């Protein structure tokens, strides 16, 4: 158990809909990272938040957004969903100084 929690475990929705994925980092970690794992692209970095502020952006689509709240949990919002957004979404956390990132169990999103 990495100490990073993610909800929900599974999500099934339809094209055009909007969903919110939630992540709670390990105790003491200030940074949260979101990753997408799809069959053809592997694990891709989406976005990083550090202590409530956006710190780095990766391959995140404009339809996707995230935020980190004062209690340090983070939410990833995916809107206008397309079939190709079906993937595993992982959250990871660290102290924020470039130490090892620890990953949550992931949310499996299926868009029908």
Q: Where are the beta strands (DSSP E) in 4-106?
A: 5-7, 10-13, 19-24, 31-38, 42-50, 53-57, 64-68, 74-78, 87-94, 102-103
Which of 11, 19, 21, 31 binds other proteins (CB under 8 A)? It is 31
Alpha helices in 1-112 (DSSP H): none
Cβ atoms 87, 104 nearer than 8 A: no
Stretch binding other proteins (CB under 8 A), from 14-22, 67-75, 76-84, 99-107: 99-107
Q: Does 64 bind other proteins (CB under 8 A)?
A: no
Kindly report the backbone phi and psi dihedral angles of residue 14, in degrees, each rounded to the nearest multiple of 5, phi listed first: -110, 160
Which of 24, 33, 36, 87 binds other proteins (CB under 8 A)? It is 33
- Number of residues counted as binding other proteins (CB under 8 A): 32
Let me know if 44 is exposed, middle or buried by CB neighbors in 10 A (0-12, 13-18, 19+).
middle
Q: Does 8 bind other proteins (CB under 8 A)?
A: no
Which of 21, 94, 109, 111 binds other proteins (CB under 8 A)? It is 94
Q: What residues make contact with other proteins under the rule CB under 8 A?
A: 2, 4, 6, 31, 33, 35, 42-48, 50, 55-56, 58, 90, 92, 94, 96-106, 108
């Amino acid at each position: 158990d990495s100490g990073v929690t993610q909800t929900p475990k599974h999500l099934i929705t339809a094209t055009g809909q909007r969903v919110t994925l939630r992540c709670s980092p390990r105790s003491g970690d200030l940074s949260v990272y979101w990753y997408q794992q799809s069959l053809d692209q592997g694990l891709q970095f989406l976005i990083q938040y550090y202590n409530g502020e956006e710190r780095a952006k990766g391959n995140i689509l404009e339809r996707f957004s995230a935020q980190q709240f004062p209690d340090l949990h983070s939410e990833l919002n995916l809107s206008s969903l397309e079939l190709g957004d079906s993937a595993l979404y992982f959250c990871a956390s660290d102290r924020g100084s470039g130490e090892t990132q620890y990953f949550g169990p992931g949310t499996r999103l299926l868009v029908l």
